[in-house]
Structure 1
């Protein structure tokens, strides 16, 4: 691959990860961190950028993406991929992206309830782009992402030369441990688990465009991951700076979306609101296209369903579930996500430290990987039940006594 192709796939990778949620987390965190916002962002970058980058590199070392679970029993293998792709797909992430795109991109300019019509149009556009996966790099990497980067850069440059406030005193949590809190917030972006899903698209795209030489392919993967990591880190730093200097315009904001909206309006007036709406719509669209493509490829490779049929079904489900309401979507899907997060991260770590990847057609079970995944599942389930207030009081007392970090929900900060 030449430099232009590598840059285009790197841009595509950045755009796939950059959803509206990624824009919202850093501003609020940085505002709360105040004078310690750089320390908080440093911790944030470790889990929000470092973990996804590590995941993509590990996946790139495998003969194929599905080999990540090849050393597990077949029922566990199939269950993991089905649950993770369906949950970070039509069951949760896709409807959430459609709903957020409407709430931030359309609703500020429209007083009526247009979610149904918007979801149909948005999912139709997603389907049109997903049905041409060979053109994905052209659509996203060469057109949509540069436009997204230009708008984000424009907002950041104006903020640097004309900040709308100064960092406030940090809240108590960020005074005591800004880096640790940043690590937690970065984990909550879900990008560590999204990297497993996007791996289907990114790694397959690289392999299709490379010469077939494994060492060359892995070198391309490292370059593309570096491009993604650099762009995402710069984006998070920029969003953090906006949040840290938002004291004069959004001192009492309850979420990052309010901060960005206030900052865009403060810098550019009505045009700023339009620009933020376009940024949100593009960010959500690139994410929905990537997740839809990954799901359709999975169902095609694993179950023999035609790519086109799978993509149509996925977008129809997404459009339907989007109108159920964001609160209902989160309530139904949250338990599964809370358990899948630690399992996905445990799998990546297990493949690194307990490698056993069979290249034959015979499944060879790794006892070490099986034990790691089982433990992650147990602790993830325990944390999920605790967060959902479904854990008996007697179990909570035992866990608090013997698990020092139980109250911090260390195994799944995905709520």
Structure 2
């Protein structure tokens, strides 16, 4: 029997989805981008919102349409390639980059300003021990996050946003050279750092699992509730990003010399609310990072147990959290530097997969289309990724948009058009269609 969610449960599901997305990168990157954009805040912010809100929402729609996460979306690839693609995304969004980053940002903003010595190692153990405890009971995620932690988080963020818009600490600053010339593109690329599109690929399946645990089994209702949850999360994220962008854009005087988004945010909040504001900011960041880490660890563990059903869920959670705690000690700056080339290389593949999923009914030969389009996206994405490492890539300057870090856009669009217009159904597909 298919259960239906109450209005409160739907709202809680949306808030849970919002909380899963709102983590480390979502808090530290918008202020930094805003500070660099200054008076060019609007086009930069629109570019950022396209990557960090629009793409994740499209991803959740694609997940709902496919009826599952990245593995289901990639089902038209050979099984080994689909598994490799899915595992790569889970590793990026899991123990390699995104999950340890939640611990680092929680420490940098929530703990470090209030202590004199460095206790990152000890903090990482405590933080990921708590993440492990919350992740071991995934059926309770809706209760833990949606009905308790997130409403408090929303109230704290709302207070900060109201203060920033009603009494900013400065005027819009002067944009730096990159944002003065290509504000929208710079904002778009900066949105990569949030990893929200990858997050949607993994959170989408987690939300489906939560709905199933609540007795929602009919595909049409899962689709409906997932879309509603995605819209709630998108609205919340847009509100937070716009607020933090404006905070950063008006911070050039009060936070002069700040090198990171966490520094800008900490200085600005202290200047606005003094010590009480610093404590409130610490609470916001700690909760946001904790909920995101729980979502990421739960999603990756669910993926691994589906891949290998005989593996123990609890042990996998503990192993995941131990690895994350170790990687956390690399440091925030180093982790961000390592992640950027990987994101430039893999993000185009994720975007291409979303487009293919949304258009799959119009594709003739689905297997060939997926392999062709994703291969093109990966090839040109790797070129963009190598470029941001600092390698001499001037040989490829002839490629459209290569100088902007978007060499993948035109080739991937052309590949998708070829797949839609030129690829015919494979013989087995044509036979199935006639039967």
Check whether TM > 0.5. Answer: yes
SS in 2 for 1:42: helix
Within a 5 Å distance, the mapping from 1:170-185 to structure 2 comes to 170-185=175-190
Aligned-residue Cα RMSD (Å) equals 2.2
> How many angstroms apart in 1 are the aligned matches of 2:158 and 2:389?
39
Match of 1:89 in 2: 94
Match of 1:265 among 270, 273, 282: 270
Match of 1:348 in 2: 354
Match of 1:315 in 2: 321
> How many angstroms apart in 1 are the aligned matches of 2:307 and 2:269?
45
SS in 2 for 1:234: helix
The answer to whether structure 1 residue 400 and structure 2 residue 397 are counterparts is: yes
What TM-score does the superposition give when structure 1 sets the normalisation length?
0.90
Match of 1:131 in 2: 136
Match of 1:13 in 2: 17
> How many angstroms apart in 1 are the aligned matches of 2:87 and 2:370?
19
The answer to whether structure 1 residue 186 and structure 2 residue 191 are counterparts is: yes
Match of 1:361 in 2: none
Mapped contact 1:354–1:369 kept (Cα < 8 A): no
Q: Alignment length, in residue pairs?
A: 402
Within a 5 Å distance, the mapping from 1:161-176 to structure 2 comes to 161-176=166-181
Mapped contact 2:46–2:187 kept (Cα < 8 A): yes
Q: Cα distance 1:116–1:252, how it changes in 2: closer, same or farther (>3 A)?
A: closer
SS in 1 for 2:194: coil
Q: Cα distance 1:46–1:332, how it changes in 2: closer, same or farther (>3 A)?
A: closer
> How many angstroms apart in 2 are the aligned matches of 1:412 and 1:187?
14
SS in 1 for 2:127: helix
SS in 2 for 1:64: coil
SS in 2 for 1:188: helix
> How many angstroms apart in 1 are the aligned matches of 2:152 and 2:44?
28
> How many angstroms apart in 1 are the aligned matches of 2:66 and 2:348?
21
Deviation at 1:243, TM superposition (A): 1.8
> How many angstroms apart in 2 are the aligned matches of 1:287 and 1:412?
29
Mapped contact 2:34–2:41 kept (Cα < 8 A): yes
Within a 5 Å distance, the mapping from 1:183-332 to structure 2 comes to 183-209=188-214, 211-304=216-309, 305-326=311-332, 329-330=335-336
What TM-score does the superposition give when structure 2 sets the normalisation length?
0.86
Q: Cα distance 1:365–1:230, how it changes in 2: closer, same or farther (>3 A)?
A: closer
Provide, for residues 26-54 of structure 1, a one-character-per-residue CA deviation record: whole Å limited to 9, x for no partner: 22222332233233222221211000000
Within a 5 Å distance, the mapping from 1:32-71 to structure 2 comes to 32-65=36-69, 66-71=71-76
Where does structure 1 lack aligned partners over 5 or more consecutive residues? 358-363
SS in 1 for 2:258: coil
Where does structure 2 lack aligned partners over 5 or more consecutive residues? 410-435
Q: Cα distance 1:337–1:170, how it changes in 2: closer, same or farther (>3 A)?
A: closer
Q: Cα distance 1:43–1:92, how it changes in 2: closer, same or farther (>3 A)?
A: closer
Mapped contact 2:68–2:204 kept (Cα < 8 A): no
Match of 1:149 in 2: 154
Deviation at 1:170, TM superposition (A): 3.2
Mapped contact 1:73–1:365 kept (Cα < 8 A): no
Q: Cα distance 1:371–1:232, how it changes in 2: closer, same or farther (>3 A)?
A: same
Deviation at 1:251, TM superposition (A): 3.5
Q: Cα distance 1:80–1:145, how it changes in 2: closer, same or farther (>3 A)?
A: same
Match of 1:383 in 2: 384
Provide, for residues 82-114 of structure 1, a one-character-per-residue CA deviation record: whole Å limited to 9, x for no partner: 111122111222222212211221111111121
Mapped contact 2:193–2:340 kept (Cα < 8 A): no
